[in-house]
Chain A
Amino acid sequence: MNMIVCVKQVIDPEAPPATFKIDTSTNQVVPPAGMSPVIDPYGEYAVEAALKIKDAVGGKITAISLGTNQLRDVVKKPLSMGADELVLLEDEAYDGGDSFSTAFALAAVIKKIGEYDLILCGREASDWNAGQVGSGIAEILGLPSITLVKKIDVADGKARIERLTSDGYEVIEVSLPAVVTVSNEIGEPRYPTIKGIMGAKKKDPTVWTPADVGLDPAQIGAAGRKTKMLKLFQPAHEGQVEIIEGESPEESAANLASKLREAKIF
């Protein structure tokens, strides 16, 4: 089984909301000072899904990550968890992309890697919450895709996959190669072992520029976007809250209930 897992480096989504800042002049998020970025949580679930398959039937896992200023200690996490190879797409030309140009670049890299049975992505990334890259890769490569995946079993060139539905899940059979996007129901990502961390330290990632993968800079990053962001803003909450008071907690509670009734909220 040759597996390719797409991950990305993001601002830590567990960071306190108060540290979240936008530079409105550039429409960009300012990374919080003193806080290390992390691998996107859903990307970690995708790595875990691949590792579970490797545990069961063996195979090779190649993680790929696209971006600039990727901290090695961060993007090497899939390696320390148990992935075999790491490919980084690092070049300014990849910057400022949307789902379309990102999927386009990732698909080109996957084609260059050439050998794959299963491509795994997170169901969405915690920064732009776009939820499209996995499906996009499938379209570009002409592969079947299954999203919102909670379990994968592989046997005889086929995968048996559990996909979340609104009231449970469905079991889907698909021939390989295929693309899956993984949800958190797959199970908690494992912690890197000491051996894994030591191994990852020694391993150098492969770094590919657009030219290395035969990509025209006009097709990727900001130049290859199909969507345009007009505005990025923080919703205003300050000063909106009404604190309901009372002589005692019990009275405050009763006052809250009355207030909600008055406002016809229930």
Chain B
Amino acid sequence: MADNKGVMAYCEVADGKLAAIGAELLGGGRKLADDLGEELVAVLVGSGVSGLVQEAIALGAEKVYVVDDELLKEYQADSYVAAMEKVAMQAMPRIIMLGQTNVGRDLAPRLAFRLGTAASLDCLELAIDADSKALLQTKPVYGGNAYAVFTTEYYPQVVTARVKSMQPLERDDSRKGEVINVDAGLDASAIRTRVVEKVVEEVEGIKLEDASIIVSGGRGIGGADGFKQLEELAKILKAAVGASRPPCDNAWVPAGLQVGLTGKIVSPDLYIAIAISGSSQHMSGCSGSKNIVAINKDPEANIVKQARFAVIGDWKKIIPAFTEKIKELMAG
């Protein structure tokens, strides 16, 4: 353990570009590294990813480990875990940070177990304990009803951070850094999975995970027609439309719009919850939002307690007036 030093940020590559989560991890990782007085390193894994090194440095990394191999063209647990294991054994970092994305949540636990430890997934806050230098890993549990602070006495400490929970640094292209190429040394026969097809499902408008504003409706919306009004508001705010479980179960909206434990986990700047009571199941999907606004007829509804602002009343009267006023404010 005494040998493990530094903070490592795994920077996901999507469509040949550094994914936004990479910049966020480097921003958050920079602070942890500074608090430790240790270095921040980035890792790039993929095929043809070497060109992204300078960007990782400009976003805060002092060193960039690169594993570039044809066999790493697509994410697959077998090949990526092996590549990351090699990097981890060479760099011996104190902390490995990944993003809570479909890749990170697959890679982090396998990597942690491979390295003889367990990870903490979906952390909202990461901090260094001043005395022990341990990484304090705060994450929602029980669907956001509670938060737990974990630490690990086994190194490296592997975590994933929720998307948008950390701030990227300003890109500074004058920053200098070192590049370390690591040979993947992969054997194609050791990769037991094969991606045969990738299917992109077109979503109309803005994707829930990417939206900085979400307009979300619950059981009280009453039907598909009600959601049309929500869509109109969303359009004006450049927001995505979401829903709690009942509208999805009743097919008023597609199942892919569900926010909650058994749906999407989102953390927008603004989450407008309309006629949503705020069950634990739903809150686990949206409790990471920076601002929750509740529009609900029941002042005792859980969502109202968890909101920053609330209007108590019938959404059918409130939403048209709210939409009009927003339009006016945005025009002015």
Which residues of A does B touch, CB under 8 Å?
Answer: 11, 13-18, 20, 22, 29, 41-42, 45, 98-100, 103, 124, 126-132, 135-136, 138-140, 144-148, 160, 163-175, 178, 184-185, 225-235, 237-238, 240-244, 248-254, 256-261, 263, 265-266
Report how many residues on chain B are interfacial, defined by Cβ distance under 8 Å.
93
State which of A146, A232, A253 has its C-beta within 8 Å of the C-beta of B148.
A232
**Residues of the B chain whose Cβ atoms lie less than 8 Å from the Cβ of A173:** 193-194, 196
State which of A13, A166, A237, A242 has its C-beta within 8 Å of the C-beta of B280.
A13
Instruction: Decide: B322 and A229 in contact? CB cutoff 8 A.
Output: no
If A166-B209, A173-B196, A256-B322 touch, does A232 touch B102 (CB 8 Å cutoff)?
no
**Residues of the A chain whose Cβ atoms lie less than 8 Å from the Cβ of B146:** 20, 22, 29, 232-235
Q: How far is the CB of B117 from chain A (nearest CB, A)?
A: 5
Interface stretch, picked from B39-47, B49-57, B304-312, is: B304-312
Which residues of B does A touch, CB under 8 Å?
Answer: 14, 76-78, 101-102, 105-106, 108-110, 112-114, 116-122, 136, 139-154, 192-201, 203, 207, 209, 213, 237, 255, 261-263, 269-270, 278-281, 283-284, 287, 291, 293-295, 299, 302, 304-314, 317-322, 324-326, 329
Complex Cα gap A231–B134 (Å) = 14
**Residues of the A chain whose Cβ atoms lie less than 8 Å from the Cβ of B209:** 166
Number of A-B contacts (CB under 8 A): 263
Instruction: Decide: A252 and B106 in contact? CB cutoff 8 A.
Output: no
**Residues of the A chain whose Cβ atoms lie less than 8 Å from the Cβ of B203:** 167
Instruction: Decide: B109 and A136 in contact? CB cutoff 8 A.
Output: yes
If A173-B193, A173-B194, A227-B152 touch, does A184 touch B325 (CB 8 Å cutoff)?
no
**Residues of the A chain whose Cβ atoms lie less than 8 Å from the Cβ of B262:** 41-42, 45, 184
Complex Cα gap A127–B201 (Å) = 31
**Residues of the A chain whose Cβ atoms lie less than 8 Å from the Cβ of B139:** 129
Instruction: Decide: A171 and B196 in contact? CB cutoff 8 A.
Output: yes
Instruction: Decide: B192 and A174 in contact? CB cutoff 8 A.
Output: yes
Instruction: Decide: A146 and B193 in contact? CB cutoff 8 A.
Output: yes
Q: What residue in chain B is nearest A168 (Cβ atoms)?
A: B201
Complex Cα gap A226–B115 (Å) = 11
Q: What residue in chain B is nearest A256 (Cβ atoms)?
A: B311
A sample of 22 inter-chain contacts (CB < 8 A) reads A17-B302, A124-B121, A131-B105, A148-B105, A165-B102, A169-B199, A171-B199, A184-B263, A185-B255, A227-B117, A230-B136, A230-B150, A232-B141, A233-B147, A241-B310, A244-B310, A249-B311, A251-B321, A252-B312, A256-B309, A266-B213, A266-B270
Q: What residue in chain A is nearest B101 (Cβ atoms)?
A: A166
**Residues of the A chain whose Cβ atoms lie less than 8 Å from the Cβ of B122:** 129, 131
